[in-house]
Structure 1
Amino acid sequence: MTAITVSNLSKKYGNTCALDCVSLTLERGEMVALIGASGSGKSTLIRHIAGLETGDGRNGRVEILDTVSQRDGRLTGHVKRGAVSVLFQQFNLVGRLSVLTNVLIGLLGRVPRWRGTLGLFNAAEKDAARAALARVGIPQVAVQRSSTLSGGQQQRAAIARTLVQGAEILIADEPISALDPSSARRVMDVLADINTQDRITVLVSLHQVEYARRYCKRTIAMRNGAVVFDGPSTSLSNAFLAELYGSASEELVLPDAPEEQSAPVPAAVLPNRQPVFTTA
């Protein structure tokens, strides 16, 4: 069973082409990085995969867990509720509620609506939420208001909510872009752990390539709304990124990122003049 399949997905905002016939597939249990300069289309792609937006025209198609979620610019509503969780860089926690309650919100699709509306969770559900917080390394903050947490702690609480939700796919849109390096590593460690231990499929959009190299075996790179690289993260040498992104590579590559022994070389050029690369 594939986790995510995107076929011929396009999107325009006025005269701007945000997605240009994008096609890709993620197998279940993969952890894949999505990279690209600002405006490359990665956030737009994530919103379409998550079902928050629909593509343009005919032939565009998105499948989640082998179930069609959108086709020809329309959502189908057939995907199992709670199967996909989306992690945003803004954390999306309710600041006035306790961290434990924020994590329990992940159960809203699995408990009777009246209990969810009233915030009535049983002991077993609260134990599961506490276990999720322990899993992400912040069990001590359960009773605090979420607004008192640091950015890294808030993002880990959001991941705990995903665990309680029972999601099979986690889509993270630049979850570490607002965090300091230490907090960013902790969040990426947690994402890698739930991918390995729980076999949750993770698609994570990253602003700096070094985290893709370090945590993801596979990377998909976008430019001008198109996929221009899809392959091993080990192929993402500094020289390759400089050639692929030009001046934008400065915002994607950490200054101390190590050079790889072999760099990708051009293999072909797509009709839209976007280069595709293979390893030498």
Structure 2
Amino acid sequence: MTAISVSRLSKRFGTTKALSDVSLRIGAGEMVALIGASGSGKSTLIRHLAGLETGEGEASRVEIFGTLAQGAGRMAPGAREVRGDVSVIFQQFNLVSRLSVLTNVLIGTLGRIPRWRGTLGLFRRPERQEAHAALARVGIGQTGAQRASTLSGGQQQRAAIARTLVQRARILLADEPIASLDPASARRVMDVLSEVNRTDGITVLVSLHQVEYARRYFARTIAMRDGQIVFDGPSTALTNDFLSELYGSASEELVLPDAPAAHEADRREPARQPRKAALEAV
């Protein structure tokens, strides 16, 4: 089954063409990296997949699990229901800092409980149990009662992933989720994303600047430049020469020596049950 289908998607902001006739397909259960220099169109593409932007042109289409989300520059009538299958995490975590971590995770239930209960914050015991379990699964089970603002960056990002689990989304879009994290925290977040993909079969699309993570964690990578897809294939085929051309003068900071490819990383001991003490440290 195809989870995401994009056909001839274009978008212009003023005189800048952010997306130019983009077409792609991502299968259900795939974990795909999206790379490219700043301004290449990665975030704009993710915003369209999340239903936060509409494309241009009569031929443009975005489908989620075979259901039209937007077409011909307009949201489809069933777009609201489609959005329930899609969760988005961002670089800046998007948690409500004054609320508890548990309440932030429970926000993931709002699309499937009565609106009045969500407005009043009346979450039932099974919903709270599910949220606690999601926090434990991402390695921060002890933080539920804390204010979100007290968490480290890596912990906040993992809380955002827990919110996705509670939402029961079938697609997770992550826009630069590790860009502001230190290397240790970034690896832990990537381990959690990889585990969620393997165990739950959630389709994961992650926008990245750090190219070594694309080669280490993902079997497939899509590269963008000037609003167009310039590479779509196995991450093992990402040569340093190609990446240097893709990123230009920034390549020395973003492209590290060749890392183990995704298929090699899969042979490492899987992080299905992350060691609690290690994960909770960051």
**TM-score normalised per structure 1:** 0.90
Q: Does 1:114 align with 2:121?
A: no
- Residue in 2 aligned with 1:8? 8
Call closer, same or farther: CA 1:182–1:259 in 2, change over 3 Å: closer
Higher helix share: 2
- Residue in 2 aligned with 1:50? 50
> AA paired with 1:15?
T
Alpha-carbon contact 1:194-1:200 (below 8 Å) kept: yes
- Residue in 1 aligned with 2:160? 158
> AA paired with 1:162?
T
Task: State which drifts further: 241-250 or 170-179.
Answer: 241-250
User: Percent identity of the aligned residues?
Assistant: 72
Alpha-carbon contact 1:237-1:259 (below 8 Å) kept: no
Q: What is the alpha-carbon root mean square deviation over aligned residues?
A: 1.3
> 1:71-150 counterparts in 2 under 5 A?
71-79=71-79, 80=81, 81-150=83-152
- Alpha-carbon separation, structure 1, partners of 2:259 and 2:68: 41
- Alpha-carbon separation, structure 2, partners of 1:82 and 1:199: 16
Structure 2 unaligned spans of 5+: 262-282
- Residue in 1 aligned with 2:34? 34
- Alpha-carbon separation, structure 2, partners of 1:96 and 1:15: 40
> AA paired with 2:212?
E
Alpha-carbon contact 1:91-1:155 (below 8 Å) kept: yes
SS at match of 1:59: coil
Alpha-carbon contact 1:37-1:252 (below 8 Å) kept: no
- Residue in 1 aligned with 2:278? none
- Residue in 2 aligned with 1:65? 65
Alpha-carbon contact 2:30-2:204 (below 8 Å) kept: yes
- Alpha-carbon separation, structure 1, partners of 2:137 and 2:126: 16
SS at match of 1:17: strand
- Residue in 1 aligned with 2:249? 247
**TM-score normalised per structure 2:** 0.89
Alpha-carbon contact 1:85-1:171 (below 8 Å) kept: yes
Alpha-carbon contact 1:172-1:204 (below 8 Å) kept: yes
How big is the shift at 1:258? 4.5
How big is the shift at 1:56? 1.4
SS at match of 2:196: helix
Structure 1 unaligned spans of 5+: 261-280
How big is the shift at 1:153? 0.2
Alpha-carbon contact 1:170-1:201 (below 8 Å) kept: yes
How big is the shift at 1:78? 1.5
- Alpha-carbon separation, structure 1, partners of 2:95 and 2:104: 6
Q: Deviations over 1:22-64 (max 9, x none)?
A: 0000000000000000000000010011110011122111001
Q: Deviations over 1:108-160 (max 9, x none)?
A: 01111111111011111101000000110000101000000000000000000
Q: Deviations over 1:151-175 (max 9, x none)?
A: 0000000000000000000000000
Alpha-carbon contact 2:216-2:259 (below 8 Å) kept: no
Aligned residue pairs, count: 259
Q: Does 1:208 align with 2:210?
A: yes
Alpha-carbon contact 2:37-2:246 (below 8 Å) kept: no
- Alpha-carbon separation, structure 2, partners of 1:69 and 1:193: 28
- Alpha-carbon separation, structure 2, partners of 1:22 and 1:127: 41
Alpha-carbon contact 1:36-1:252 (below 8 Å) kept: no
